[in-house]
Structure 1
Amino acid sequence: MATPIYPWREGNTFELMMDGDRFFPRMLQAMAQAVCSIDIELYLVESGNSTQKVMDILLQAVARGVRVRCRFDSLGSRELQESDRQRLLQGGVDLRFYNPLNLLGGRSNLHRDHRKLVIVDGGVVFIGGAGFTDAFCIPGTEGRCLWHEQMLEVQGPVVADWVAIFERQWQVTERRGGRQPARLRRVRLPPHPSGSDGLARVSLTDGRTHRELVQALLANIARAKRQVWLATPYFAPTWRIRRALARAARRGVDVRLLLCGEVTDHPPVRYAGQRYYRRLLAAGVRIFEYQPRFLHLKTVLVDDWVSLGSSNFDHWTLHWNLEANQNIVDSRLTLVVEQSFTADFAESREWTLNDWLALPWTHRMKIRLWGTINRIAILWLDIRS
């Protein structure tokens, strides 16, 4: 059964929290105050100080009668120790793992649940790109978390849609088929809302029937009049997204990309993505590489439209993963997101076309090598752009 296309909901409130020193304590507080239910769907979960804090609160919640359900991706949670898994199970947490790895599973192992949701009492949801790891949640010696990330706290009618999404995913079988459908269908998107505050809708890729999340991105870039600012840690976009960005820049829209610099967990992905810089820069796209830390943000700002959540907007994410973003039209949040981008641009290196042309041959060889490997992987895995 196809995943539904969710409509715009009015009357929602939002709070954007940058970095784990802000969002992690708030999430812990919300879970500690739960009276009915805590539902968690995450990709990255590792044993450590942050996960121990979460586990303590979850077990305390179960002890006072709260229903606690956790669904972790089996690959992303491979560093969650068996002792921690058993502690959760023995404490009464309903724990499930998405698509357990199988040596004979072939391409079915590539299907991953990349969504990040924490829902408390069916009334508040936290959405973003973080997991339960110390790199996200625990500040280091300099007082900043190693990974630059954000979570959005949402309250209002749209939370019911997030509850429905979690319930739907909770009930599906644990293993997925290894072959994608021959053709994913295009869907009819809800029209852009006329209001300016409190509007939100859930945007998804379900991996089998549609990638509505991508359609929404392309539709909004096409209607952009002032700005298109996009932050992503892994810049390996489809050709449709690259074309949309270039076209927007050519018609005078302020198009900026906020990407990882040398501090990254996957250097080959950075080199592979840099092969796109020359044409984008020539089209007028401005490219910024964040310098201080590993940038893990997944945010898009297009005029009055904001989308943030789990999606990296790359080939791999959009083909294999379950993803979920919150799309928003809200004047206050738009301003907060714009200020966040501006602060990050100030800590970034901006590339120019001359910078790209002046790259040393060693750097060019890395771009060529990893770009070639990326293209081969796309062809071999039959990832349609």
Structure 2
Amino acid sequence: MTSTQHQTPALEEPASLNTAERSQRIRRRLERLIGIAATEGNSLVPLRNGDEIFTAMLTAISAAEHTVDMMTFVYWRGDIARQFAASLSERARSGVRVRLLLDGFGSRLIEKDQLESMERAGVQVAWFRKPLHLSPFKQNHRCHRKVLVVDEQTAFTGGVGIAEEWCGNARNENEWRDTHVQVRGPAVDGIAAAFAQNWAECHEELFDDRDRFIEHSPHGDAIVQVVRGSASFGWQDMQTLLRVMLESAQERVRLATAYFSPDPYFIELLCATARRGVAVEILLPGPHTDKRVSQLAGQHHYEELAACGVEIHQYQPTMMHAKIITVDKVATLIGSTNFNRRSLDHDEEIMLAVLDERFTATLDHHFDEDLALSERIDTTRWRGRSVRQRAREAAVRPIRRFL
């Protein structure tokens, strides 16, 4: 996609809109332009880092009475992987229907004895597109969604994989910084549908008599739209979601992402947002990035973004793996999608568009705390970066669409 595609005049937003009016305007744009109705009556609990995230997920699994549906991109070795395997197995032995969907590439490092023990216990394990069984084209399209749904009533999604890297509380470079969210209410159905969509590709049975298809009672005040990104050709819902949020912003956009290598269109969209007076802040991994090639691809755009007034910060303590955007203190995007070509063009993803001031305020507070541990890219110094650095950035340009 080139920077000249999909260009539209800047939106004229009434300056007098209050927060409720801004929220409603964003809601209607998202509903009509994506074609997915938002649901009311949801409660959301932001979970920061492994200590909170894994505790909440394992607690929910242990309390399951009917069904557990879980899918993840990363399921690797280590103690936390064994804890999840043991918890899923225990529920299966107790008669709970447990389904586990693993990405064929991202979870390839899982220990075989864990798989065998889960399957012996009755866990239904399926693989999404194992590379050895696929054409080279299909191998590039992965399931990057992270979803856990328990008893059709409680759901989790966000950026966390099942591996030691996510354990702890981001206290050092071995404990990654990430955010997940626990959801209750009608939005659980949309998250469950993301699991069902990928499960249907990998397994003959889509549902059974353990699925009760319950009605959801209100659990809170949050409005949530669940958006699924799927690998395909052309403009996708996930791209529309990001575009609507950026073009609707009037005061502030805050973006935290693990992998930042968008195409020229989204670079221009970020610049256009900043040029019309919106404060745009981007928080990215710093020295502890796990994918240096992806970081180099994003750094190619730093100078252009800074010239437009975009602030870029690099998180210093450990790998920044969260995927969050907040807009004007009223709206949040949170889920599995990175701000890169791979997430937007190639992978199965899930994002929640949340309209809730309290939830957004909490994530903005987390962003403030992360900024205090970050270094801002100095525009003057960046323009004077070495020839060697520029050469590295240029070297990854041919593969940016796969990053």
TM-score scaled by structure 1? 0.87
Q: Secondary structure at the match of 1:172?
A: helix
Deviation at 1:139, TM superposition (A): 5.7
Deviation at 1:233, TM superposition (A): 1.2
Change (3 A) 1:60 1:144: farther
Among 287, 303, 314, the alignment partner of 2:340 is 314
The residue aligned with 1:70 is 100
What is the distance in 1 between the residues matched to 2:169 and 2:299? 30
Q: List gaps (5 residues or longer) in structure 1.
A: 175-195
Amino acid in the other structure paired with 1:337: L
- State the aligned residue count: 352
Q: Secondary structure at the match of 1:271?
A: helix
The residue aligned with 2:367 is 341
Would the aligned equivalents of 2:49 and 2:168 in 1 still touch at CA under 8 Å?
A: no
Deviations 1:10-41 (A, max 9, x none): 00001101100111111111110111111001
Q: Secondary structure at the match of 1:208?
A: coil
Would the aligned equivalents of 1:20 and 1:145 in 2 still touch at CA under 8 Å?
A: no
What is the distance in 1 between the residues matched to 2:126 and 2:35? 26
Deviations 1:47-102 (A, max 9, x none): 21001111111111112111100001010111102221111111100000000112
What is the distance in 1 between the residues matched to 2:351 and 2:362? 17
Matched, 1:330 2:356: yes
Amino acid in the other structure paired with 2:383: L
The residue aligned with 1:217 is 242
Q: Secondary structure at the match of 1:229?
A: strand
Q: Percent identity?
A: 28
Change (3 A) 1:68 1:268: same
Would the aligned equivalents of 2:172 and 2:318 in 1 still touch at CA under 8 Å?
A: no
Q: Secondary structure at the match of 2:314?
A: strand
Amino acid in the other structure paired with 2:370: D
Amino acid in the other structure paired with 1:229: R
Q: Secondary structure at the match of 1:282?
A: helix
Amino acid in the other structure paired with 1:282: A
Matched, 1:305 2:331: yes
The residue aligned with 2:227 is 203
The residue aligned with 2:191 is 162
Change (3 A) 1:5 1:133: farther
Among 50, 61, 64, the alignment partner of 2:80 is 50
Matched, 1:233 2:263: no
What is the distance in 2 between the residues matched to 1:283 and 1:167? 42
> Within 5 A, what are the aligned runs for 1:1-385?
5-102=35-132, 105-138=135-168, 142=171, 146-173=175-202, 197-208=221-232, 211-303=236-328, 304-370=330-396, 372-375=397-400, 378=401
Q: Secondary structure at the match of 2:64?
A: coil
Q: Secondary structure at the match of 2:326?
A: strand
TM-score scaled by structure 2? 0.83
Amino acid in the other structure paired with 2:120: Q
Deviation at 1:104, TM superposition (A): 6.4
Change (3 A) 1:117 1:145: farther
Amino acid in the other structure paired with 1:305: A
Deviation at 1:121, TM superposition (A): 0.6
Q: Secondary structure at the match of 1:113?
A: coil
Q: Secondary structure at the match of 1:13?
A: strand
Would the aligned equivalents of 2:262 and 2:340 in 1 still touch at CA under 8 Å?
A: yes
What is the distance in 1 between the residues matched to 2:108 and 2:158? 21
Deviation at 1:103, TM superposition (A): 7.0
Amino acid in the other structure paired with 1:207: A
Deviation at 1:138, TM superposition (A): 4.5
The residue aligned with 2:12 is none
Would the aligned equivalents of 1:197 and 1:332 in 2 still touch at CA under 8 Å?
A: no
Amino acid in the other structure paired with 2:343: T
What is the distance in 2 between the residues matched to 1:330 and 1:15? 12
Deviation at 1:224, TM superposition (A): 0.7
Amino acid in the other structure paired with 2:392: K
Q: Secondary structure at the match of 1:297?
A: coil
What is the distance in 2 between the residues matched to 1:164 and 1:134? 28
